[in-house]
Amino acid sequence: MTDTTTPITFTPERLAKAQEIIARYPAGKQKSALLPLLHLAQEQYGWVSSDVMDYVAGLLSILPIEVYEVASFYTMFHLDPVGKHVIEYCRTGPCCLMGGEDVYGHLKQKLGIDTGETTPDGKFTLKEVECLAACGWGPVFQIREKYYMNLTNGKVDEIIEELSKD
Amino acid sequence: MAVKILTEHINVPGINTFDVYRKMGGYAAVEKALKKMTPEEIVEEVKKSGVRGRGGAGFPMGMKWSFLAKPEGVPRYLVCNADESEPGTFKDHFLMREIPHLLIEGMIVSSFALGANKSFIYVRGELMYVIQILEKAIAEAKAAGFLGKNILGSSYDLELVVQPGGGAYICGEETALLESLEGKRGNPRNKPPFPAVKGLYQSPTVVNNVESIANTPWIVNNGGDAYASLGVGRSTGTKLISASGHINKPGVYEIPLGITVEDFIYADEWCGGIRPGHHLKAVIAGGSSVPILPANLILNLANGDKRLMTYESLSDGGFATGTMLGSGGFIAMDETSCVVRNTWTFARFYHHESCGQCSPCREGTGWMDKVLERIEHGKGNMHDIDLLVDVAKKIEGNTICPLGDAAAWPVASAIRHFRDEFEWHVKHPQEATQPGAVYRGAMELV
């Protein structure tokens, strides 16, 4: 959850990174930095609240609505609080052919939650996504930047147990 | 052994690093291009090669390049489309992960040919780890003098920027990609003007797929004629095929265009056949958008000749008996696969991914998703099957971008070739909704 008592601001490292990203584009085209900055913000806060979006709008000298309309278009941005580990599993054809639906059923059962839900301890959120471009290695899910491929029920158990430790 | 243009060195340990890539002959094309060739000569070689856009549309790359407007004093841009999101397709993911410098080298020679000094690689945001791999490769190339100011002592400057997407299939459409790169929602633009005239920041822009660009170093090194001598007819060169589904060896294969589909599925060099104890029922040959074909029609043309892995042979017979090479996303389905369910997951995908700009697509994809869902769950009626055909027809050709067509074709083709299976779901709802139930009617398996 976002701590609403402290004002939203990037860490010094992320702020430097944000400035470096903004400088990549031609003068006056800083809005191009919007998606990279939203990723950076989500990396820091876990999700993208309206306060975070307002902050990003300020960094880019654009209107907050320009950030809202973009953040709500792209499915990678979480507009509501999420658990520590967001498991995004691919529900598209090829993963289903490889037994994805059974594996995801097992995953839901193991965590005791359905897609779109977060475990009561706040550790895991399940999110159903479309094709992750890893069809030959399906079934697949992604947690942050890491891909977990060729999933089986056994592998799911191992991954969840490992992540439950921290 | 067939000639490998893209993957010859892919298994060399450390090929993802600059030093090893360079030792294997990498970046020779940059040296040749900058020291011995003019931009026009490179464009000419690419034209001669006959290489066609590898993202799915198959438009001749050299011709696309030659459309680029060159007004005085206006910057030109090259944008690499690495938004690979077509279900069944994972070749660009593989190529960038395994041999990132090949794309970087291609970006340099292509940018030089087009007169671009700032070029972008737009990578789907989910592949953040691949973005990190590319950024490392760019830093290495820059340190070695292949990027930045006065590359190799020439007067040519180039900066490469890797841009993450945010999770939207539509951004694979080139004008949606440009909107996204400008920090907007990925709504495709009306055309004309085409990107070649008004693209990124309203400047002349070329958008090319990863695999297309990765072909250019070989073309510069060996010449367009050498490239054109590979393959069959207008299907020149090699093609990366992403193979998934019920085959023994899923993965990415670089095939010479022109091998038979049968060889591709059954030869040990490629997919190694259908998994033990099972038989081929159907194939989606070029990514989820292209028409599905039953086993007999994917292996053979309507006249009985063997079908080849080429643009022309795969589309032989039009949509009545053919399909398309598309992005090369090759999904094989055995007899345990339910065509209705698979069609529904694709329809759900297009419904989810429609940007919502055009009514036929926004509404139509939703209708197809819902109607297929109810047929799959034993709640459909016979009229629903014709309703699907009708909705698909009304989307096709009536939208700003090809997502509408891409959503319509899988549904229309599944009903064209597997109507019995849809009818079985309607007539036998109880049987059809048993876990793992699949229609085993008069269908021909191979």
Kindly report the average pLDDT of chain B as a whole number.
97
Rounded to an integer, what distance in angstroms lies between the CA atom of residue B106 and that of residue B95? 12
Domains and CATH numbers, chain B: 18-229 (3.40.50.11540), 234-334 (3.10.20.600), 339-432 (1.20.1440.230)
pLDDT at B341: 96
Report residue A6's pLDDT band, with 50, 70 and 90 as the boundaries: confident
CA distance B65 to B220: 15
Q: So what's the pLDDT on residue A71?
A: 98
Residue among A74, A92, A146 minimizing CB distance to B345 = A92
Q: Which residues of A touch B246 (CB under 8 A)?
A: 97
**pLDDT tens digits for range B382-422:** 999 999 999 999 999 999 999 999 999 999 999 999 999 99
Higher per-residue confidence, B436 vs B386? B386
For residues B296-321, one letter each, b for 16 or more C-beta atoms within 10 angstroms of the residue's C-beta and e for the rest, the string is bbbbbbeeeeebbbbbebbbbbeeeb
Asked if the C-beta of A151 comes within 8 angstroms of chain B's C-beta atoms, the answer is: no
Rounded Cα–Cα distance for residues B367 and B388 (Å): 8
Q: Which of A40, A47, A73 to mutate to test the interface with B (most CBs of B within 10 A)?
A: A73
Please judge whether B89 and A34 are an interchain contact, meaning their C-beta atoms are less than 8 angstroms apart.
no
Per-residue pLDDT, averaged over A76-100, amounts to 96
Q: Which two tokens stand for residue A124?
A: 């895991």
Smallest Cβ–Cβ distance between B125 and the set A39, A69, A136 belongs to A39
Mean pLDDT of B195-218: 98
Instruction: Answer yes or no: is pLDDT of A2 > 70.
Output: no
| Pairwise CB contact (< 8 Å): A130 & B246 | no
pTM above 0.90? yes
CB contact under 8 A, A97 and B331: yes
Q: Is B256 on the interface with A (CB under 8 A)?
A: no
- Chain A, nearest residue to B337 by Cα: A97
Whether the CB of B420 is below 8 Å from some CB of chain A: the reply is: no
A61 touches chain B (CB under 8 A): no
Q: At B1, is the pLDDT very low, low, confident or very high (cuts 50, 70, 90)?
A: low
Q: What is the pLDDT of residue B441?
A: 79
pLDDT value at position A3? 54
**pLDDT given at position B436:** 85
- Nearest Cα neighbor of A70 from B182, B370, B109, B335 is B182
Cis ω before B192 (30° cut-off from 0)? yes
| pLDDT the model gives residue B435 | 86
CB pairs under 8 A between A and B: 146
A96 belongs to an annotated ligand binding site? no
Give how far Cα B203 sits from Cα of A164, B53, B105, B187, B257, Å: 50, 21, 24, 18, 35
Task: Confirm or reject contact between B211 and chain A (CB < 8 A).
Answer: no
> Residues 37 to 66 of B: which have CB under 8 A from any A CB?
none
Q: In what order do the strands lie in the sheet with B292-294?
A: B251-256, B238-245, B329-334, B280-284, B292-294
Q: For residues B313 and B307, is the Cβ–Cβ distance under 8 A? A: yes
Spell out which residues of chain A touch residue B209, defining contact as CB-CB under 8 Å: none
Share of chain B above pLDDT 90, in %: 97
Rounded Cα distance between A37 and A40, Å, is: 5
Check pLDDT > 70 for residue B443. Answer: no
pLDDT of residue B442: 66
Q: Could you tell me the domains of chain A?
A: 12-71 (1.10.10), 85-164 (3.40.30.10)
Residues in B touching A31 (Cβ below 8 Å): 182-184
Residue pLDDT, tens place only, B49-80: 999 999 999 999 999 999 999 999 999 999 99
- Nearest residue on chain B to A134, judged by CA atoms? B90
Instruction: Retrieve residue B178's tokens.
Output: 């440009």
